[in-house]
Structure 1
Amino acid sequence: MHLIEEHPERNVIRVQLAQNVLLKGMTAQQMVELEPQLQVVDAPKGHWLLHQGVHEMEQYFILDGILKRVVSNPAGKQMILRFAAEGEMETSYAAWRLGTPAPYSVVGVTRTRVAKLPLRDWVAFIERHPALKQAFEYSVMHHMSDIMAHTITLHLLDAPGRVQRFMRKHADLFDRIPKKELASYLNLSAETLSRLKAKGKI
């Protein structure tokens, strides 16, 4: 884990931060204010950035790789709620605001690089910058809406329909996500996903 200033690839990281969907509208002065608070984490595939049930939460900006948001029941059965790739962010802001534990985990699907800071520090930062706070809260609500739509889709669409919907919304991720992970997200077996691909349904 490094501060950006200490990271050997700091110039690349600064470019990636500037391309982040949430941060690209920031002024140079805002970035100067935020950057010293960020830590860069280079994590292997399968690394758990956030554990369901914890109270200490962080804000993540994805620089490289793909993360998944996962919820588990007491028996250990998992459901993938969303994937997020470079240029996007991950957060548990709603839970932090409500004072409740993290309702899901955040895990690397691939090798990942993220810039992170404690949620309390991120919230203090956006409180000083109302336009950024508005954009961030809109993004959080958009993610929640997408997850709800996906959950409904699992019940209303057949297997080809679920896959085709994913392709419409996330075609760029199809070949980057391990098929076992993607099948789990779509509530299919890996064999069904392979069969649909072989039949040209994808």
Structure 2
Amino acid sequence: MVALVSHPEYKILRLQLRQNLVLKNMSPEAWAELEPMLEIADYPKGKSLENQGDLSMEQYFIIEGILKRVVTNKEGKEMILRFAAESDIDTSYAAWRLKTPIPYSIRAVTRVRTAKLSMEQWVRFMDRHPSVKADFEFEVMKLMSEVMAHTITLHLLDAPGRVHRFMRKHPELTERLPKKELASYLNLSPETLSRLKHKGKIEL
């Protein structure tokens, strides 16, 4: 990990971070305060950033690559709850606020670069900047709503409906995600996914 302010790619990283959905409306004064707290971290494909049951928590701003949020049951069966890519975030904010272990893992689907800081630092920073806190908590609510909608989708939509919904809502990720990962997210076999994606493209 390297501090953002001393990173050799500082200028481009700063521009990328200012496009983040939580940071883009931040005032110059707030950004000047936050910037020295951020560390740039690179993760290889498959690396866990946070593990289900952890108490140590951090806030992540995605610069490059794709993360997934995964929950695992006692038998080791996994369910992917969401994907997040450039300009998005992942977070354990709710667990930190509730003082409970993280109920999911955060893993790198591809090679990933993030800017991060501890949840304690992030919460203290937001307490000093209410507008940032409001924007962030709104995005967290959207994120939680997205996870809930996905869970409902798995129960209410058939296989073609699940594929069509993902292609419509996340066209930017449809071709970037490994087939196995997307198939798992949609509770399909990779072969069924390929067939339905091809059919969906023809229909669209």
TM-score (norm 2): 0.97
CA positional deviation for 1:28: 1.3
What CA distance in whole angstroms lies between the structure 2 residues aligned with 1:49 and 1:61? Answer: 12
What CA distance in whole angstroms lies between the structure 2 residues aligned with 1:24 and 1:109? Answer: 25
Aligned Cα root-mean-square deviation (Å)? 0.8
What CA distance in whole angstroms lies between the structure 1 residues aligned with 2:97 and 2:185? Answer: 27
Question: Match for 2:101: what amino acid?
Answer: P
Aligned twin of 1:154: 154
What CA distance in whole angstroms lies between the structure 2 residues aligned with 1:22 and 1:156? Answer: 32
**1:1-202 → structure 2 map (5 Å cutoff):** 1-198=1-198, 200-202=199-201
CA positional deviation for 1:69: 0.4
For structure 2, which runs of at least 5 residues remain unmatched after alignment? Answer: none
CA positional deviation for 1:76: 1.1
CA positional deviation for 1:29: 1.4
Cα deviation, 1:24-83, whole Å, max 9, x if unaligned, reads 001111111001111100111111111110111000000000100000111111100000
CA positional deviation for 1:201: 2.3
Question: Match for 2:95: what amino acid?
Answer: A
CA positional deviation for 1:197: 2.8
Question: Match for 2:166: what amino acid?
Answer: F
Give the secondary structure class of the aligned counterpart of 2:16.
helix
Count of residues in correspondence between the two structures: 201
Give yes or no for contact 2:163–2:197 (8 Å, CA) kept in 1: no
What CA distance in whole angstroms lies between the structure 1 residues aligned with 2:176 and 2:70? Answer: 18
What CA distance in whole angstroms lies between the structure 2 residues aligned with 1:36 and 1:73? Answer: 38
Give the secondary structure class of the aligned counterpart of 1:201.
helix
What CA distance in whole angstroms lies between the structure 1 residues aligned with 2:38 and 2:71? Answer: 26
TM-score (norm 1): 0.97
What CA distance in whole angstroms lies between the structure 2 residues aligned with 1:177 and 1:130? Answer: 35
- Percent of aligned pairs sharing the same letter: 62
